[in-house]
Amino acid sequence: MQVDRLAAGGRIDRGRPLSFTFNGKAYQGFAGDTLASALLANGVRLTARSFKYHRPRGIIGSGVEEPSALVELTGDDASANQPATTVQLRDGLQAKSVNCWPSPVVDFGSVNQMISRFLPAGFYYKTFKWPNWHLYEPSIRKAAGLAAAPQNPPAGGHFENRFGHCDILIAGAGPAGLMAALVAARAGKRVMIADEGREAGGSLLNRRLTINCRDAAHWVAETIAELNTLANVTHLQNASVWAYREHNYLMVTERTSDNPSLIERNWRVRAGHVICATGAIERSLVFGNNDRPGVMLASAAQSYVNRYALRPGKRAVIFTNNDSAYAVANDLATAGVDIAAIVDSRNEVPREVRATIQETDVFAGHVVTTTKGGRKLRGVEVAPVEGGKSQQISCDLLAMSGGWNPAVHLWSQSRGTLRYDDQLACYVPDQPAQASSSVGAADGKLTLKEAMKSGADAAASLCATGPAAIPQSDDIDYSISPLWRVEQAQGPAFLDIQNDVTVDDVHLALREGYDNIEHVKRYTTGGMGLDQGKTGNINIVGTVALQKDVPLQDLGPTTFRSPYTPVSFGAIAGIREGSVVQPYRHTPITEWNLDRGAFMYEAGARWRRPGYFPRDGESFQDTVNRECRTVRNGVGVYDGSPLGTYELKGRDVGRFLDHIYSNIMSTLKPGQGRYGLMLSDDGLILDDGVALRLDEYRWIVSTSTGHADAINSHMEELLQTQFPDWNVFITTVTSQWNNATICGPRARDVLAALSTDIDTSSQALPFMTFADGQVAGLPARVVRVSFTGELSFEINVAPRHMRELWAKIMEAGAPHGIEPIGSEANHVLRVEKGFLSLGHEVDGTVDAHDLGMGWVMSKKKSDYLGKRSVNLRREGEAVRRELVG
Partner 1 sequence: MPYDVSIERLQLFSLFDLKGPRQGLTDWAGDVLNHLPKAPNQLSREDGVELCHTGANRWLLRAEIGMETDLEAKLRLETAPPEISIVKISDTMTFFRVTGEDAIQVMSIGCPLDLHADAFAAQAVSFTEFFNCRALVLRCRGGFDVAVEQSFADMIADYLDRATI
User: Which residues in this chain contact partner 1 in the complex, by CB under 8 A?
Assistant: 158, 160-165, 190, 258-261, 268, 270, 574-575, 578-580, 583-587, 590, 606-607, 642, 647, 649-651, 694-695, 697-698, 727, 729, 731-736, 798-800
**Smallest gap from residue 596 Cβ to partner 1 (A):** 18
864-to-328, 658, 682, 738, 860 alpha-carbon distances in Å: 79, 7, 12, 31, 11
Alpha-carbon distance 420 to 46, whole Å?
A: 36
Q: Which is nearer to partner 1, 127 or 732 (CB)?
A: 732
Q: Which is nearer to partner 1, 160 or 500 (CB)?
A: 160
**Smallest gap from residue 3 Cβ to partner 1 (A):** 41
**Smallest gap from residue 253 Cβ to partner 1 (A):** 15
Q: Which is nearer to partner 1, 679 or 795 (CB)?
A: 795
**Smallest gap from residue 57 Cβ to partner 1 (A):** 40
Alpha-carbon distance 534 to 528, whole Å?
A: 10
Alpha-carbon distance 384 to 391, whole Å?
A: 10
DSSP letters, 73-98, are EEGGG-EEEEETTT-B--TTEEEEES
**Smallest gap from residue 233 Cβ to partner 1 (A):** 13
Alpha-carbon distance 695 to 468, whole Å?
A: 71
**Smallest gap from residue 534 Cβ to partner 1 (A):** 31
Q: Which is nearer to partner 1, 294 or 644 (CB)?
A: 644
**Smallest gap from residue 794 Cβ to partner 1 (A):** 17
Alpha-carbon distance 577 to 56, whole Å?
A: 40
Q: Which is nearer to partner 1, 332 or 692 (CB)?
A: 692
Could you give the dihedral angle defined by the CA atoms of residues 647, 650, 651 and 654, in that order, rounded to the nearest 10 degrees?
-20
Q: Identify the bridge partners of residue 88 per DSSP, sorted by sequence position.
A: 34
Write b or e for each residue in 284-300: b if 16 or more Cβ atoms lie within 10 A of its Cβ, otherwise e: bbbbbbbbbbbbbbbbb
Q: Which is nearer to partner 1, 629 or 698 (CB)?
A: 698
Q: Which is nearer to partner 1, 158 or 376 (CB)?
A: 158
Q: Which is nearer to partner 1, 400 or 728 (CB)?
A: 728
The residues, ordered by sequence, that sit 6+ positions from 12 with a Cβ below 8 Å of its Cβ are: 29, 30, 31, 32, 33, 37, 308, 309
Write b or e for each residue in 550-577: b if 16 or more Cβ atoms lie within 10 A of its Cβ, otherwise e: eebeebebbebebbbbbbeebbeebeee
Task: Work out the burial of residue 818: count CB atoms within 10 Å of its CB; fewer than 13 is exposed, 13-18 middle, 19 or more buried.
Answer: buried
The residues, ordered by sequence, that sit 6+ positions from 36 with a Cβ below 8 Å of its Cβ are: 47, 59, 62, 66, 69, 83, 84, 85, 87
- Region of 525 (left: φ > 0; alpha: ψ -120 to 50; beta: rest) is left
**Smallest gap from residue 731 Cβ to partner 1 (A):** 4
Which helix (H) or strand (E) element contains residue 385?
none
Q: Give the side-chain half-sphere CA count within 13 A for 146.
A: 13
Per-residue H/E/C for 673-719: EEEEEEECCCCCEEEEEEEEECCCCEEEEEECCCCHHHHHHHHHHHH
Q: Which is nearer to partner 1, 256 or 858 (CB)?
A: 256
Which helix (H) or strand (E) element contains residue 381?
strand 377-384
Q: Which is nearer to partner 1, 101 or 726 (CB)?
A: 726
Alpha-carbon distance 320 to 285, whole Å?
A: 8
Alpha-carbon distance 133 to 135, whole Å?
A: 5
Alpha-carbon distance 328 to 344, whole Å?
A: 13
Alpha-carbon distance 189 to 170, whole Å?
A: 12
Task: Note whether 315 and 337 are within 8 A (CB).
Answer: yes
Q: Which is nearer to partner 1, 710 or 733 (CB)?
A: 733
Q: Which is nearer to partner 1, 646 or 661 (CB)?
A: 646
**Smallest gap from residue 587 Cβ to partner 1 (A):** 7
**Smallest gap from residue 727 Cβ to partner 1 (A):** 6
| Cα distance from N-terminal residue to C-terminal residue, the chain | 83
**Smallest gap from residue 734 Cβ to partner 1 (A):** 8
Q: Which is nearer to partner 1, 430 or 709 (CB)?
A: 709
**Smallest gap from residue 231 Cβ to partner 1 (A):** 11
**Which residue, among 461, 513, 568, 857, has the nearest Cα to 685 in the 3D structure?**
857
**Smallest gap from residue 126 Cβ to partner 1 (A):** 46
Alpha-carbon distance 604 to 722, whole Å?
A: 29
Task: Note whether 615 and 627 are within 8 A (CB).
Answer: no
Alpha-carbon distance 496 to 531, whole Å?
A: 10
**Smallest gap from residue 249 Cβ to partner 1 (A):** 10
Task: Note whether 35 and 71 are within 8 A (CB).
Answer: yes
Q: Which is nearer to partner 1, 622 or 696 (CB)?
A: 696
Alpha-carbon distance 541 to 420, whole Å?
A: 11
Alpha-carbon distance 94 to 665, whole Å?
A: 72
**Smallest gap from residue 414 Cβ to partner 1 (A):** 20
Q: Which is nearer to partner 1, 620 or 729 (CB)?
A: 729
**Smallest gap from residue 513 Cβ to partner 1 (A):** 47
Q: Give the side-chain half-sphere CA count within 13 A for 91.
A: 3
Alpha-carbon distance 681 to 659, whole Å?
A: 11
Q: Which is nearer to partner 1, 772 or 832 (CB)?
A: 772
Q: Which is nearer to partner 1, 207 or 707 (CB)?
A: 707
Q: Which is nearer to partner 1, 169 or 277 (CB)?
A: 169
**Smallest gap from residue 728 Cβ to partner 1 (A):** 9
**Smallest gap from residue 160 Cβ to partner 1 (A):** 6
